[in-house]
Chain A
Amino acid sequence: DAKTTQPPSMDCAEGRAANLPCNHSTISGNEYVYWYRQIHSQGPQYIIHGLKNNETNEMASLIITEDRKSSTLILPHATLRDTAVYYCAANFGNEKLTFGTGTRLTIIP
């Protein structure tokens, strides 16, 4: 399984776009990139996932580089409720989803 690395923390002003990076340089061709977030100590929640193409849903956008060695999760208009720990993970077909240590995102009013 690919290892993922993320910055430990980031701040973002409320209303601005939050861009959270993730490196997964050892990802293989059939491994998906997943993003989850965890608010306080609740169970993590799925945000989005992708393989090669950029993806967008109602929560966020996922930008994957052409070589697939890194990706960026974009929260387009961050709100205070987006303050959480964001985890990048990679696997194949969800057999063994391996999480990184996450980025603690703080939205500043």
Chain B
Amino acid sequence: DADVTQTPRNRITKTGKRIMLECSQTKGHDRMYWYRQDPGLGLQLIYYSFDVKDINKGEISDGYSVSRQAQAKFSLSLESAIPNQTALYFCATSDLDGGTTNTGELFFGEGSRLTVL
């Protein structure tokens, strides 16, 4: 089983619908992130969370909200989806930077492809 699991993997929806993308991890990491990827634009940070009580906006948070239900779960919501939110969404985790052995490596899920018609 994957360490970082995203559901759904693919979703087609209509403009105005509410959509939730879910992420769960078994790595025991405190930090979780949501990224968006558009063709030719690389990865853009939407929201990130350092622990259950800590939520921060990233570069492109408008139109999105998140919920950190538990250490292992971080959900991304689109309250009213619009076509320009069509993209590939990635969840990632990392360990809290606390020692010389920590690489600060991000572990990514396999992505959720969202299409808004």
A interface list, Cβ under 8 A from B: 32, 34, 36, 41-46, 49, 87, 91, 93-102
Residue contact A44 to B106, C-beta cutoff 8 Å:
yes
Residue contact A101 to B88, C-beta cutoff 8 Å:
no
Residue contact B104 to A44, C-beta cutoff 8 Å:
no
The yes or no answer to B41 lying at the interface (CB within 8 A) is yes
> Please, how many angstroms separate the alpha-carbon atoms of A94 and B41 in the complex?
21
Most chain A beta carbons < 10 A, residue from B42, B48, B90: B42
Q: A44-B43, A102-B42 are in contact. Are A96 and B48 (CB under 8 A)?
A: yes
Q: How many A-B residue pairs have CB under 8 A?
A: 57
Residue contact A41 to B43, C-beta cutoff 8 Å:
no
Contacts of B50 in A (CB 8 A): 95
Contacts of A41 in B (CB 8 A): 88, 111, 113
Task: Kindly provide the distance from the CB of B107 to the nearest chain A CB, expressed in whole angstroms.
Answer: 8
> Please, how many angstroms separate the alpha-carbon atoms of A94 and B31 in the complex?
9
Give 5 nearest A-B pairs by CB, closest first.
A43-B108, A94-B104, A101-B42, A99-B43, A93-B97
Task: Kindly provide the distance from the CB of A94 to the nearest chain B CB, expressed in whole angstroms.
Answer: 4
Contacts of A45 in B (CB 8 A): 108
Besides A34-B104, A95-B50, A101-B42, 20 new A-B residue pairs in contact (Cβ under 8 A), listed by A number: A32-B104, A36-B106, A41-B111, A42-B110, A43-B4, A43-B92, A44-B43, A44-B90, A45-B108, A46-B103, A46-B107, A49-B105, A87-B43, A94-B31, A94-B97, A94-B105, A97-B106, A99-B44, A100-B42, A102-B42
